[in-house]
Amino acid sequence: MDKKKQFQKQVLTSKLKEHTIILSTLEKSYNDLINSSNINITNSNNNSTLTNQNSITIDKLNKLNVLTILQQDKSSLENNKKTIKQAINNLTTTISQLEYNLKQLPLDTKNILTKEINILNDEHQRIENDRLETINNNIESITKANLDKEELLKDIELLKVTINLQANVITNIQKESHSSRKNILESLKEKKQLKIKLNNTIENATINVNTFIQQIHNLNNEIDNLIEFKKILVNCAYENNTDNNTDTDTNTDTNTDLESYHKLYNIDNNILLNEKLNKIDDIITNNKKQILLFNKNLSKTETINNYTIQDTINNYYTTNSNKVLTYKDTFKLEKEKQTQLERILDNKLTLYNNYQTLIIDKINNEFKSKIECLNLDKLNADKRLHIIKLRMNKEYENKKKELKKQIEDTKQEMQNQNEYIQTINNNIKIVTTTIEKTTVINDELYILENKIKKHKEIISITEKDLTIITNH
């Protein structure tokens, strides 16, 4: 091997050694950087930080794309922070509302109590009005009762006079007993005349009603004949138009009927068919109007007859029901009247003599009972307000205690949220620092990797050149 090749070999060997030392130094720095770099990752779901035992080295971070994970973790923490801030704002609003409700509680309770007191005052006013009305009614009732007592005394005096007059009537009956036979004969005569009048009235009414009924019947028959007349006219006109005249006997009978109808209703046989039909319709219409008139007159006649007959019957039976009184019957009847008057007098005397107990005391007792009911209503109204006050005081204390507890619980919850958001802020700082450190380490590793790659390429080239020189 010549000197030139030896020199080249020495140079290449020296260069290979130099770059190998540099490569070893770079690889040691690379491994030291990896071994000395432990990245803590914040878990946004449970807010816990990974310990050194669970740390991820740089080569693993590259595979797992830790920077993306850390950015996502930071974004999640920031979103949680916004949510908690909103929750804190809501809690602040809730506390303000609760404190306002607590402040308003006495005023609301006072307003409710004022309403209840107004209700009580209205009830007292109502009771007082009823009391005054009851007192006035009692005064009026007592006054009226005293006036009624005076009227009762007048009725008693009048009854005494009436009884005396009735006694005179009985005396007169005894004197007039001899005229009883004459009264009987007069009654029998009157009864006979009424019987004759009743029979005549019934007979006349029947004749009037039958007359109207017969007239209505005749008009209905005439309408039927006119309808038949129209039917024959139309049939004859149809047969003449169709030239169907095979039945001579039937045509002869029909012509005979038509001639009779024309004469009966004074209709010219030579006029047109429509004019004939119109004249027939006019006759039918007039007959129907006449029937309506007869029906009205019939109804009116029946009503008048019924009233007249019933009035005659009532007079007849009223007269017959009036028993022809004998002397003994009349005496007995008037005696019963006198007894009844005496009974009424006894009842009125009993009422007058016991008027204080039966009337005045009863009115006063009713007045006393109503006043006692009104007093009881007033006591019940006062008792109701007292019970309401007790219940309101209890509800006030319970509501006050409840509001205070809600305020304290809400404040505690807000404190917990503040602590929670502070923890999130700390985790965000840790993640931010980790991201920055990771970025710096990745940059340094990237530089080292490029240098290592460069020196490896030099070493590889140098080894190839050295091999070539050695082989040649």
Predicted pLDDT at 350: 94
On the 0-12 / 13-18 / 19+ scale of CB atoms within 10 A, 13 is: middle
How high is the mean pLDDT of the chain? Answer: 82
Predicted pLDDT at 431: 86
Q: Is residue 213 in a domain?
A: yes
Q: Is residue 460 in a domain?
A: no
Q: Is residue 304 in a domain?
A: yes
CA distance 7 to 68: 54
pLDDT tens, position by position, 312-364: 677 666 654 444 445 677 788 888 988 999 999 999 999 999 999 999 999 99
Bridge partners for 43 per DSSP: 48
Task: Check pLDDT > 70 for residue 49.
Answer: no
Domain of 301 in residue numbering reads as: 180-323
On the 0-12 / 13-18 / 19+ scale of CB atoms within 10 A, 53 is: exposed
Q: Is residue 265 in a domain?
A: yes
Cα 190 to chain centroid, rounded: 74
Q: Is residue 430 in a domain?
A: no
Task: Check pLDDT > 80 for residue 248.
Answer: no
Query: Of the candidates 359, 424, 421, 423, which has an alpha carbon nearest to the alpha carbon of residue 147?
Result: 359
Q: Is residue 55 in a domain?
A: no
SS3 297: helix
Q: Is residue 195 in a domain?
A: yes
Query: Of the candidates 336, 322, 326, which has an alpha carbon nearest to the alpha carbon of residue 169?
Result: 336
CB 43 within 8 A of CB 423: no
42 pLDDT tier (thresholds 50, 70, 90): very low
Q: How many domains does the chain have?
A: 1
Query: Of the candidates 143, 96, 69, which has an alpha carbon nearest to the alpha carbon of residue 411?
Result: 96
pLDDT tens, position by position, 162-212: 889 988 888 887 777 655 556 666 667 777 777 777 777 777 778 878 888
SS3 49: strand
Q: Is residue 308 in a domain?
A: yes
46 pLDDT tier (thresholds 50, 70, 90): very low
Side chain identity at residue 416, one-letter code: N
425 contact partners, CB below 8 Å, separation of at least 6: 81
